[in-house]
Structures are given as C-alpha cells and as structure tokens.
Amino acid sequence: MSGNTFGLLFTVTSFGESHGPGIGCVIDGCPPGLEITAEDIQQDLDRRKPGTSRHVTQRKEPDQVEILSGVFEGKTTGTPIALLIRNTDQRSQDYSKIMQTFRPGHADYSWWHKYGIRDYRGGGRSSARETAVRVAAGAVAKKWLAEKFGITIRGYMSQLGSVQIPFVSWDEVGNNPFFAPNAEIVPTLESYMDEIRAARDSIGARIDVVAEGVPVGWGEPVFDRLDADIAYAMMGINAVKGVEVGAGFASIAQKGSEHCDELTPTGFATNHAGGVLGGVSTGQDIRVSIAIKPTSSIPQDRNSIDLNGNAVMMQTTGRHDPCVGIRATPIAEAMLALVLIDHALRHRGQNADVKVTTPRIPGARR
Amino acid sequence: MSGNTFGLLFTVTSFGESHGPGIGCVIDGCPPGLEITAEDIQQDLDRRKPGTSRHVTQRKEPDQVEILSGVFEGKTTGTPIALLIRNTDQRSQDYSKIMQTFRPGHADYSWWHKYGIRDYRGGGRSSARETAVRVAAGAVAKKWLAEKFGITIRGYMSQLGSVQIPFVSWDEVGNNPFFAPNAEIVPTLESYMDEIRAARDSIGARIDVVAEGVPVGWGEPVFDRLDADIAYAMMGINAVKGVEVGAGFASIAQKGSEHCDELTPTGFATNHAGGVLGGVSTGQDIRVSIAIKPTSSIPQDRNSIDLNGNAVMMQTTGRHDPCVGIRATPIAEAMLALVLIDHALRHRGQNADVKVTTPRIPGARR
Amino acid sequence: MSGNTFGLLFTVTSFGESHGPGIGCVIDGCPPGLEITAEDIQQDLDRRKPGTSRHVTQRKEPDQVEILSGVFEGKTTGTPIALLIRNTDQRSQDYSKIMQTFRPGHADYSWWHKYGIRDYRGGGRSSARETAVRVAAGAVAKKWLAEKFGITIRGYMSQLGSVQIPFVSWDEVGNNPFFAPNAEIVPTLESYMDEIRAARDSIGARIDVVAEGVPVGWGEPVFDRLDADIAYAMMGINAVKGVEVGAGFASIAQKGSEHCDELTPTGFATNHAGGVLGGVSTGQDIRVSIAIKPTSSIPQDRNSIDLNGNAVMMQTTGRHDPCVGIRATPIAEAMLALVLIDHALRHRGQNADVKVTTPRIPGARR
Amino acid sequence: MSGNTFGLLFTVTSFGESHGPGIGCVIDGCPPGLEITAEDIQQDLDRRKPGTSRHVTQRKEPDQVEILSGVFEGKTTGTPIALLIRNTDQRSQDYSKIMQTFRPGHADYSWWHKYGIRDYRGGGRSSARETAVRVAAGAVAKKWLAEKFGITIRGYMSQLGSVQIPFVSWDEVGNNPFFAPNAEIVPTLESYMDEIRAARDSIGARIDVVAEGVPVGWGEPVFDRLDADIAYAMMGINAVKGVEVGAGFASIAQKGSEHCDELTPTGFATNHAGGVLGGVSTGQDIRVSIAIKPTSSIPQDRNSIDLNGNAVMMQTTGRHDPCVGIRATPIAEAMLALVLIDHALRHRGQNADVKVTTPRIPGARR
C-alpha cells in the first residue's frame, strides 16, 4: 500500500486534501454490534478543531462528519465504516504564492521530488488537517475499547516549549485550551504563547498519553510489538520528532536495579516499562510521550528556493497554529486507540484458546 | 501476520529461539543480480557477536550463517533468501530454575499470559539473540543500498549511562568494543563498565545511527512515513524505550525560527529535521537516536512471583551483557537499512515515471 | 484487513451498502501524473449500470461518481483517490419482508451467523451494487495501463445459459445489451432471455476477458502468481463459481504435446497457457474465462427458514436481473485491470534494474 | 511482499530451490498449544513424495522435514515454526543443457525476462518441488482445524485425461497411486498412464477437494471471500489452469430454480454453492475442483528459442511425472487447509462477541 492505510485488522484508510472537496476515511474491521453515532465521533473532532482559542489557528472548520456506510440502525454491522468531512473554510488564494516555492520545514520540497506534482493549496495532502480523520477513526476505536474492556485513553500536554507542566489532575485537562492537567499553570502558558505569537514565532510541545485498563497479553513479540506499533503511530503524526514509552530516554542513565519493575503478588512495584515488556502489554498503564516540533509556518522572512532552484525569501502567512502541539492531544489519543484495537483483534484471533491459571496482578500507575 | 515479518516489499520473516536448533530468516523481495556471499553477511554478524570483550556476555556463539536459497553462482536471483544460524553454545540447565518464575523486566510474565506456554530456556523467542537475524538481513539490505545508491549507514554509541560521548570521528568506531566515535573517552567507558559489573548492576545507553546518501523522495506521506517506519523499526529492537529523528525531544523547546531548516541553492542550512519532512526523505542525512534500557538480567535479589502468583526472591544469573546497548549499534544500523530498502522499492514502483527539473540540493550534515 | 481492500501497491478499499447513503472507494497507490476525470470513470460505470434494456433490472441508478480527492487540476497526485456514488433509487420497503427470513442462494444466512446483524435492505453490503465501485476503480487502472503500456482489456459474453456465443468481432460487443461479440446471435439471446423471464426463472453465463499488450515479466512466482491473483479477483465477483486461465478445464484432457506452447523466433505458436507461465506473464494475451451462476432472486416460491429456524415459503420479488452475467463484463474487465496494475507496480519496484538481451517474442492470439 | 508468503494471520513464507541446499518455510501465527511433531508433518509429505509408483517421477527424495523452531516439548508456542527439508537426490548435470534454452510450457522464458538471472537447475524456484513445503505447512493447519473444529479435508482424483473417475468411497483413495476414490477403475488408469508414457507424452487431471465440518460464518464478504481465497490458493499451485467451487462451470447452464440451494429446518436441500454464499461459509461441505494441465516436460522434440532468440529443437529429458496431477491431491488439500485456518483466525478476531440464536442447519453433502 502507499501509506494511507493504518492497521492490520482494524484498518483506517485515509483520504483527502486540505482544500479539495473533503477529507475522510474508511474503517474496515470494526466488530459488529457497536453502538455508534455521528455525535460520538463529533465529540472528539470538536476537541481537535481549530478556532477555539486565540492560541490556535483562527480557521473556522466545523468539521462535521457524515457516516456513509457500515452503521445500520445505530450499530456497526462489521462492514466498512466510511466517514466524510466536507471542507468548507478554504481560502485557496492564500496559497497561490507558494505554488512556485518550497516552504522551509514543510513537505513541499520532498513531496515535489517524489511526485512531480502537488496540490499546493494549504499543503494539500500534507496538511495537518488530515489528522481530523484519525481523530474520527480513533473515536470509534476508543468507544469499542471502553465498552469491551473498560479501557480509558487520555492525553495531556506535559511541556510547552521550555515550560514543564506538572501533572495535577485529569479533571483539569478539559478546562483549558492547552489540555494542561494543571489549572495553576494555565496563565503562564497563556502569556508564554502570547509572547511567541507577538514574536511571530512558534514553539514545540510534549504530549503524554496514557491507556488504563489494557489487559496483559496484547502485542506481538518481535516486529509488531505493541511499543513498536505505538512508535510508528505516534511518529506518523505530523510534526512529531520523538517517541518514548515508559521511562524513555531517561532509561539511558538508569541502572537495571532501578529501571526494572519488580513483581509482587499485589502488583508491579513500579512502571518504568510503560506497560509493555517484550513487546506485549503487562496490564500496567501504557505510558507514551511524544515530542512535537514548532510549527514550520511562521510569518518571518525565511530563505528558500523556487521550482527552478533559485534563492527566494519567503514568509508563510495564512492562518497557522503557533504551536501545533496544542491541538495534538486528541490526535495522539486516537492513534493509541487505533494501535490498541488492532492488537486486541489480533490477540483474540490467535490466542482465543489460551488458559492460564497464574493470577493477573495489577499495575503501578507510575 | 503474527509479528515476525518486517517490511512490505523487502520482507524479513524471522524465526528461532535462543536454545532451539537455530535462528534464521527468509528475505523476500531482494532484487535480483546483487552479489552476496555468506562472508558479506558474516562481517556484520561478527560485529554484533558476544564474547569479544569483558564488557559483554561471555557466551561463545560463532553465529555462522548459512545461505539456504535465493543466491545462485554468487548472485541473488530475486527469489527468497533463507538464512540459517545454528545454535551452539547452549547451557539450558542455567535456565531450569526460571521455569517457574517470571524474571522482572523481561517478557516472561506478559508472554506467559499471552500464550500460556513458553520456551523458557534463555528467554526462548524473546531472547535478544534473535537480533542476530536482523543484522544478517540488514547486511543484504546495506549492500544493495550501497551499490545502487551509494548509501552509507553507520551507527555509534553517543551515551553510556550518564557519560556523554562526543562525536569525534567515524574512524574510531571500529577500534573499541563500545562503538564509541572517540578514542579518548574509551578508558572512561571501560572503568565505568567495570564499576557497573562490580556492583552486579547494569546500565542503559544511547545509540545514534546515520544514513548518508539517501535520495530525496523516499517515504510515504501519511501512515508509512519514513520516520514512522524508522520509529517502528527501532522501537522493535529489544530494550529500546525511545526514538528520536533529527532534533527529537530537543525540538520541544525550539522555536520555529530555529528548528525549521532553511533551503538555499547550495543546500539546506541545517538538519534539525533529521532528513525527513512530511514523511519523505529530503536528501539530507537521516539521523536517528535511540534509548536502550539497562539489562534486566542482573545478579541481585529481586522481588517477583511464581506461576501460582506467590512471592519469590530471585536472581537472574547466567551470562548476560551488563549493557545491552554495547552490542546494539549493528542492530540499529540493520533496522535502518531494512526500512530504507523497503521504501526504495516502494518509491521505484510508484514513481518510476516522475520527472522533475528542480535541482536537488545537498544536505547539511548536522 | 477485513476483506474490503484489494491489491498490494494499487489498493482499492471499497465501502457502502445498497440502500445506505452511498457506495465508493479509496484508491491508494495510483502513480502521479495520470490525467483522469469523473467522465473517464463514468463511461465504464454507464456500461454496467442497470435499466438499459429489458433483460436487466429496471432499477434506475444514475451512478454518478464524484472524485473527492487525489486529483488536482485534472491529474492524479499520487495521493488517495476517493470516489463516491450516492445512492438514489432506493425502495427499501421492498425488502422489509425479508428482514425475518433468509433468501436462498444469497449471503443472508451465512452473513447473519457471521455478524449477528445485517442491513437487509437490498442485501446491504452483499448487494452486487458494490461492484459499481470496482468498475470505477478499474477505469482508473485501465487508463494508466493503456497510457503507459498500451494495454487493452476487453471482455465479452461467450455463453448464455446453454447458448454458446461464437466470437466474431470485438466491434459488436458494444452494440447489444449482452456484450456479445456476434451480431447474428443477438436475436437468439433476446428470445432466450424472454423465455427465462416469462418462466420467472434466471440463468447463468460465461464471460471471457482478454488483456492484450501485457509485457513479459509481470507476476510473482510462487503465491502471488499473476494467474492466482486473477483467480482471486474473478472468484471475488458476486455470483462467480469458476475461473479458467488459457485452456482451463480443457487442459485436463489435453496431452503435453498439444497443450504446451512452443516458442519460435517469430513468436509463440499457440496460447494454451493464456499468457501466464510459472505465474508470470509471457507477453501473450492474458485470457480468462469465468462462470457466473444464475441469479438467486427469482419470483418463485422457494423453501427457506426464518430467524427462528422455522420453515417458510418465500418469493424474492423486487427488481432483479434475470441473468447477472449480462452486466458482468465491465466488472470482469475492471478486476483484471486491478490485478495488472498492481503487478506492474510490483514489478517496477523489484526489477527496475534488470537488463536482458534476449529478444521478446510476440504472442499467438489464441 | 514478493509473492512467497501466503495468508494474513496464519502465514506461510516459502523458500528454496530444487537443486539448492534445501527448501522450507516459516509458519507464523499458528496458535499456541497445538501438539505437533515432525512425524505428523512427514505423513503428508510421504503422500506427495516422488518415486512411489511407476506412474510418477523416479526421483528419490526422502523429503525429511526438520522443525527448526516454534515447537517446545511437542507443542506449538505461538512463535514462528520454521521447517527445513534438505535436498538430496540432485542430478544437476541433467539440466546443464537447458541453461541456454527455454523449455516450452515452463517458467523459463517469463522468469528470465522478469529477473535476468535464473537457477536453471531443475527449474530452481519454479520447480514443483516447492509444493512439498506447502504440504508440510498444510499438515500443521489440518491438525489444528481437526482438533479445534473437527474439520476434515480430503481430496481425490476425479478425472485423468479423458477418463472420468466416479466417486465410490473415500476408503479407496489411499489404496492406489492415483488417489482415485474407486478401486475398479484403477487398472484402467494404470493402462492409460502406461500408454501415455509409452507415447513419450503427458496428460492432465482433475482433482476434487472437500472440507467437511467447516462452521458457518468463515470468510470475508467482498474481496477476501472464502471462495476467492480458495481460487487464489488453488490457481497458485503449479500447473493449475482452472478452479471451480460447487457447481462451477456447470452453473452457467443452470436455472436459478435449480442452482440455488433451498433451506429447510433440517438442512440445506442441495449444495450447488459448494459451501460458500456471499463469500462466507454456510456450514455445508466446501467443494472445490481444479484442472491440472499436462506436464510440460516431455521427451519429444519441441520448438523453442535460445537466450539469443535463435530457433532450437529441444527435448526435456530428466525424470519427470507424466501426469503432475497424480501427486497433486495432497497439495490441494494443504492449500485448502491454509485458507481455512487463516479465515478461522480472522473470524475469531473480529466476531468473537457475536451471539446469534438462529439455529445452525446442517448441510447437504452434494
């Protein structure tokens, strides 16, 4: 495949350009009998949508999803679920000037050489707008995981530029535009972002995602490890430059006596592993952290070249997020959900007969 | 598939357990006409093999590879290349005591619940011994990439525990058992490891891998991005807990004006992207960094449980690497090679007709 | 995947139900730069659409296709091409009575046990209406194959029930509703069908498909043989019960001295192989023949059971084709095109460097 | 993949050439806990092996299989099962003269143009010897299907050249070298074959395969239909030119009132469908029939060309089966088993939660 399908058993095939007729996807492999409505999906789309605060792009995209197939009388039928989001707030003229040049930090140059043709309007297929589709598909996956296994998948911003955001409570995450789990720090974040915007610049962020309630035994042992598939899913989100599971890069300086999580009859003592050992879930929380680079589109003069290879100076105007990380939390949650549902189905297929009498022990949260 | 096949067009299907008859793989999709011998493959295997210094496991595994198919009169024929490495230095009795318990930090507990059966000898399939197979397959990929495109893939250790290893020269990497690109720091690394071993403990490491000479245009844009596939490949190596491409986690605190690599007619000004934009190679060096956790097998008393869920105290004896990162460099190189050759073939299939007159600009090294 | 994606490199992911909002597909992997319009696709859709003669279903489905993505300024961009056909002429009330029963010869019983839920309206996902999507995707594949390689893919009806239809000329195929390559036999076919309809019965058909201009060397040698993929594609068309390549079942009674096609410097002497040897195209015409069963929906009393397993007597009314084979020719052409384009791309990826000085000899037509 | 892996969840990756070191495969996705020994596999290999009567090739290949991995203490562990069969009775010198020419009816010409290189010894990878691997893998699948679901998969020869072989009893199939289900006809078959051999010619055959005990609900509805996957599996066997499911090509002349199988509370009335409706198993016997072409290697003068395109006259000597169909029955059984186990696992993954109260009715045998 040419890289627009995600998953093996629960597959999401994405399509659409930023300024074409619309974006959408086909979900194949969703088990039958799941109650799902457009409203269920819309909820997560609304968490990601632009225009909700001054810290994000001011585009107005209602991102209304239509279910084209696969749902009958409110339930999935086991056949493909096609979702369509028509594009509305398009200002294609904003982009005509970039037709002849390559925006630095964007896909323009590499895609041009790959395909020899591009829909330059708003980045076309390379626009982060495509991630709305992943959020929509992830909403279906999340609902199934919650109903069948009681799994909760939640994310939050843990760092904005140089500002660390200590975790206080999940309850705060929905109360601010940053997905920060900490009410006190919100004013700091707001003024930090105001400065960035005033400087006509952009900034990176770190997002943490946690899946609680994942049973022991999901994941494949060698190549399709649960953590490898998570890394693939996360690094595939626009602007992500790094992925950690559990202790992540901190494990470099850890000793074995510190890192390796002891087991006791009442549970794991720690969770440095982040819920995955040998590629397979342990029953602990799955803990993932991702690094998101600063937005490449900034209204400053930048050196670039044009289609003929000549030097140009360009600014990327248009309406852009000064920190793409701000709207990334629902996307990261969605991708984790897509990985988990796929492995749930794979595990059920292969290991349906396995009987183990060893007790399953609970996990440490951290 | 059940997670033992890597790749879409250049596939590697791995098999084998640490203490069974042998390990090996089937490479499918290698283009015909490549000159390859067992010796070519053996070279990389020897770089990874145990027992070469006091800092690694003292097992003696000659790891002699046999080519079972796919090569005729010294050249690949386009048919599957099967490789077999017979196991030799097995001391299965070392492991009989862990038959009833779960080694902390290992796959034992999660795999047991997944499969309900396990070859506990030496970790069986979960043993890092399986990575020899990846090195062997990677050697084939490397050779093709070098011959067809002049691509060089090299790695080095950039951090051992808390010790940073400044890059000095590629020439030093082969001169010390750590794959350190820096002769002066080797004594420090040696005494650091001696202390770790004396303390009956283990430590993590960071490995950097670089691919030079990759043309612009490889990678798929949405899900099978080159960087996503790299993250998948790297996180799938035993003990890896984090992956970065380019600036990685440092990009969180970078501003857009700093991170985003400007283009000039004579080349990219910087390489914070690590050679990938929009999922597609830019022609710059591909730069990847991975975090490897400390070895879980340490000869210290650790809490665990047995098959009945009862508390036990256990030590993992046997012959283990005090830092699995020391032998990880050839593995990381191999995985990067496997990702690149797969995308090379994918790109050729889809975009063989693309003609672009825009000049290709060289990349900044860092 | 759950069986709604076709192909490896040129993939078609189909969605939609007969009486839902619409049907469609996502084509991924179409090379960039192909000129394509909705009209190009519409032409083939119109060849398949119902209501064009008294011998087919009288439903009126305009089957207007909309291109949602992947085409920019009239050319493919290498990104997914999403196609949508909205459903219009739906009479869902026709089907309410079959909600509680299983139509004999249909997917009703097997799907019910598989999924435990079904969109019974018009067969839902099991409706042959889904094949419109394949025709649309096939139109894109056909165009690319024609432009890049000069390949022509054409089909015709070679048998209707017990009536053999001798091949006379391709020119006649488009002049009658049966896709018969023979003008003289059309009155016979018409009266034959009139009798079938008058008897409230249905009948089977044989369709032949031929691809001319396929280069030598396409196809994989062991499992993904060109002929195996063709068999898969054809047997996957609704109502197909048999597939032949070349001499097909006639080869059972052939001797080796008769069947095996001799080679001469001026070409193959015969084409019993049907254009494939060892799974790989020979450069001869690809010749395929398929058997299509009689329509299961007939307005006669038939024994069946209801959802509780009780005996019922039922007639399948509604507007049905008395011979589904009549509209099957464009579908079979489309499926052959999808197989060929996929193998074209696979071949280009793996064997781009192959140089052979041996001349390519032309093929015998029969 | 390059066509050497079969299946999605239960995958078989085949390797090896006729005259190389050996042939074998890696089975990935076999559920854990299945008792399997080399002897279990050997039994089916022995049914296929050459040299067992005067009607087949006189090569002596013991075809001893070695299990390299994936089985521990007599049970599968859920990890890859690698099987290796070393080649022994090789007379490579027999083939040196065909190095410069293309055997008519063989893969020689098409593969040469595909790859530009070939292991010409015994056909190399294109040799039917590769099918031993499929038989070995199929033996594992058969055992699992039998133990978990009570499924029986058996085949027989139903036609040899122009001689129809009426089915009398399964008990006879193992009593003669033809796999004929009919003791009385064996002398006729023997003298028929003696004549063919005396005429230095070869002949085709028809093989029927039946799977009994397959539950309702296996198969995917649109592209990966059970019958489509069967067609793919069967047409992928060397020398197969046609595949039928159920009534097959006879359904062309059938009326709907005859073909379509009525349902009654005590079972299906007939089985023209061959056990598959809408791509999904019905619970009736799966019935498949395949056409096998006459062996292309015959000791008669045949026209061909050499590597330079010049006319040559050649005989294919060596030790060849005068009817490859004679040894094909175990291969066809194996391929059907591989299709069924894959769909069993897929079905379990997706539809594990489905509850249906409708009774399952038994199937008609014919």
Tens of pLDDT along B341-358?
999 999 988 888 899 999
Q: Determine whether the interchain pair C221/B79 forms a contact, defined as Cβ–Cβ distance below 8 Å.
A: yes
For B298-329, how does the pLDDT look when each residue is reduced to its tens digit (9 = 90+)?
999 999 999 999 999 998 776 788 999 999 99
Taking phi over 0 as left and psi of -120 to 50 as alpha, with beta for the rest, C49 belongs to beta
List chains adjacent to chain C, taking adjacency as at least 3 C-beta pairs closer than 8 Å: A, B, D
* Packing angle, helices B38-48 and B329-351, rounded to 10: 140
Residue C16 marked as a ligand binder? no
Q: What's the rounded Cα separation, in Å, for the pair A26 and A86?
A: 15
CA-derived radius of gyration, chain B: 21
For C247-264, how does the pLDDT look when each residue is reduced to its tens digit (9 = 90+)?
999 999 999 999 999 999
CB of C320 within 8 Å of any CB in chain D?
no
Q: What's the rounded Cα separation, in Å, for the pair B214 and A5?
A: 25
Residue D281 marked as a ligand binder? no
| Residue C365 within a domain | no
pLDDT at B238 over 90: yes
| Averaged pLDDT for residues B27-39 | 97
Residues 6+ apart with CB under 8 A from B174: none
Residue-by-residue DSSP string for B136-162: HHHHHHHHHHHHHH--EEEEEEEEETT
For B92-142, how does the pLDDT look when each residue is reduced to its tens digit (9 = 90+)?
566 677 789 999 999 999 999 999 998 988 889 999 999 999 999 999 999
pLDDT at A359 over 80: yes
CB of C32 within 8 Å of any CB in chain B?
yes
Number of A/D CB contacts below 8 angstroms equals 52
For B242-287, how does the pLDDT look when each residue is reduced to its tens digit (9 = 90+)?
999 999 999 999 999 999 999 999 999 999 999 999 999 999 999 9
Interface residue of D12, D164, D202, D252 to substitute, partner C, most C CBs within 10 Å: D252
Largest CA distance in chain B: 69
Q: Determine whether the interchain pair A349/D349 forms a contact, defined as Cβ–Cβ distance below 8 Å.
A: yes
Per-residue confidence (pLDDT) for residue C123, from 0 to 100? 87
Residues of B in contact with C346 (CB under 8 A): 9, 349
Per-residue confidence (pLDDT) for residue A50, from 0 to 100? 76
Q: What's the rounded Cα separation, in Å, for the pair B49 and B58?
A: 10
HSE-up of residue D308 (Cα within 13 Å, Cβ side): 3
* Packing angle, helices C226-235 and D226-235, rounded to 10: 160
Please say whether the beta carbons of C62 and C50 come within 8 A.
no
Q: Which of B126, B227, B295 sits opposite A278 (nearest CB)?
A: B126
Amino acid at A185: I
> Apex CA A156: angle with CA A154 and CA A162, to 5°?
160
Per-residue confidence (pLDDT) for residue D94, from 0 to 100? 61
Q: How far is B341 from chain A (nearest CA, A)?
A: 15
SS (H, E, C) chain A: CCCCEECCCCEEEEEECCCCCEEEEEEECCCCCCECCHHHHHHHHHHHCCCCCCCCCCCCCCCCEEECCCEECCEECCCCEEEEEECCCCCHHHHHHHHHECCCCCCHHHHHHHHCCCCCHHHHHHCHHHHHHHHHHHHHHHHHHHHHHCCEEEEEEEEECCEECCCCCHHHHHHCCCCCCCCCCHHHHHHHHHHHHHCCCCECEEEEEEEECCCCCCCCCCCCCHHHHHHHHHHCCCCEEEEEECCHHHHHHCEHHHHCCCEECCEECCCCCCCEECCEECCCCEEEEEEECCCCCCCCCEEEEECCCCEEEECCCCCCCCCHHHHCHHHHHHHHHHHHHHHHHHHHHHHCCCCCCCCCCCCCCC
Per-residue confidence (pLDDT) for residue B92, from 0 to 100? 55
Residues of C in contact with B5 (CB under 8 A): none
| Residue B64 within a domain | yes
SS (H, E, C) C35-88: ECCHHHHHHHHHHHCCCCCCCCCCCCCCCCEEECCCEECCEECCCCEEEEEECC
Amino acid at B308: N
| Residue A207 within a domain | yes
Interface residue of A350, A353, A354 to substitute, partner D, most D CBs within 10 Å: A350
Residues tagged in the binding site annotation of A for NADP(+):
48, 54
pLDDT at D78 over 70: yes
Residue B20 marked as a ligand binder? no
For residue B266, count other CB atoms closer than 10 A to its CB. 10
Residues 6+ apart with CB under 8 A from A59: A50, A51, A89, A319
pLDDT at D111 over 90: yes
pLDDT at A306 over 60: yes
Token couple for C105:
């010869």
pLDDT at C89 over 70: no
> Apex CA B267: angle with CA B261 and CA B269, to 5°?
35
Per-residue confidence (pLDDT) for residue D197, from 0 to 100? 94
Residue B238, CA distances (Å) to B241, C150, C260, D80 in order:
9, 50, 53, 18
Interface residue of B202, B251, B304 to substitute, partner A, most A CBs within 10 Å: B251
Give this complex's ipTM. 0.97
Nearest CA to C160 among C209, C208, C203, C210?
A: C203
Least confident of A228-242, B115-129, C216-230: B115-129
CB of B28 within 8 Å of any CB in chain D?
yes
Residue B239 marked as a ligand binder? yes
Token couple for B312:
């036990």
CA dihedral D210, D211, D217, D222 (to 10 degrees): -50
| Averaged pLDDT for residues A6-30 | 96
| Residue B364 within a domain | no
| Residue D134 within a domain | yes
Residues of A in contact with D7 (CB under 8 A): none
pLDDT over 70, % of chain C: 96
Give the model's confidence band at A40: pLDDT under 50 very low, under 70 low, under 90 confident, else very high. Answer: very high
CB of C285 within 8 Å of any CB in chain D?
no
Token couple for D319:
């030790």
pTM above 0.80, yes or no: yes
Q: Which helix (H) or strand (E) holds B227?
A: helix B226-235
Q: Determine whether the interchain pair B204/A254 forms a contact, defined as Cβ–Cβ distance below 8 Å.
A: yes
Per-residue confidence (pLDDT) for residue A175, from 0 to 100? 95
Q: What's the rounded Cα separation, in Å, for the pair C331 and C337?
A: 10
List chains adjacent to chain B, taking adjacency as at least 3 C-beta pairs closer than 8 Å: A, C, D
Least confident of A304-308, C207-211, D94-98: D94-98
Per-residue confidence (pLDDT) for residue A64, from 0 to 100? 93
pLDDT over 90, % of chain A: 84
Please name the residue of chain B whose CA is at the shortest distance from the CA of residue A346: B2
| Residue B357 within a domain | no
Residue D129 marked as a ligand binder? no
Per-residue confidence (pLDDT) for residue C170, from 0 to 100? 97
Give the model's confidence band at C72: pLDDT under 50 very low, under 70 low, under 90 confident, else very high. Answer: very high
For A279-303, how does the pLDDT look when each residue is reduced to its tens digit (9 = 90+)?
999 999 999 999 999 999 899 999 9
Least confident of A108-112, B66-70, D295-299, D319-323: D319-323
Residues of B in contact with A293 (CB under 8 A): 247, 251, 254, 259, 272
Average pLDDT of chain A is: 94
* Packing angle, helices B329-351 and A108-115, rounded to 10: 50
Q: What's the rounded Cα separation, in Å, for the pair C275 and C364?
A: 9
Per-residue confidence (pLDDT) for residue C54, from 0 to 100? 85
Please say whether the beta carbons of B5 and D28 come within 8 A.
yes
| Residue C259 within a domain | yes
Nearest CA to C80 among A11, A4, B348?
A: A4
Residues of B in contact with A258 (CB under 8 A): 294
How many helices, marked H, and strands, marked E, lie in chain B? 7, 18
| Averaged pLDDT for residues B80-102 | 82
CATH (domain of D229): 3.60.150.10
pLDDT at C1 over 70: no
Q: How many whole angstroms from its chain centre is CA A112?
A: 25
Average pLDDT of chain D is: 94
Please say whether the beta carbons of A301 and A315 come within 8 A.
yes
Residue-by-residue DSSP string for D193-230: HHHHHHTT--B-EEEEEEEESPPTT-S-SSSS-HHHHH
| Averaged pLDDT for residues C287-299 | 95
Per-residue confidence (pLDDT) for residue C56, from 0 to 100? 80
| Residue D362 within a domain | no
Per-residue confidence (pLDDT) for residue C187, from 0 to 100? 97
| Averaged pLDDT for residues C90-103 | 75
pLDDT at C234 over 90: yes
Give the model's confidence band at A55: pLDDT under 50 very low, under 70 low, under 90 confident, else very high. Answer: confident
Task: Report the number of distinct structural domains present in chain C.
Answer: 1
pLDDT at B9 over 90: yes
pLDDT at D318 over 80: no
| Averaged pLDDT for residues B20-35 | 97
List chains adjacent to chain D, taking adjacency as at least 3 C-beta pairs closer than 8 Å: A, B, C
Average pLDDT of chain C is: 94
CB of A1 within 8 Å of any CB in chain D?
no
| Averaged pLDDT for residues B77-103 | 84
Q: What's the rounded Cα separation, in Å, for the pair D141 and B142?
A: 36
* Packing angle, helices D329-351 and D131-149, rounded to 10: 50
CB of B90 within 8 Å of any CB in chain D?
no
Q: What's the rounded Cα separation, in Å, for the pair B155 and C64?
A: 55
Per-residue confidence (pLDDT) for residue D136, from 0 to 100? 98
Per-residue confidence (pLDDT) for residue B365, from 0 to 100? 66
Question: Which domain does D236 fall in, by range?
Answer: 5-351
For B176-222, how does the pLDDT look when each residue is reduced to its tens digit (9 = 90+)?
999 999 999 999 999 999 999 999 999 999 999 999 999 999 999 99
Q: How far is A33 from chain D (nearest CA, A)?
A: 8
Q: What's the rounded Cα separation, in Å, for the pair C264 and A315?
A: 65
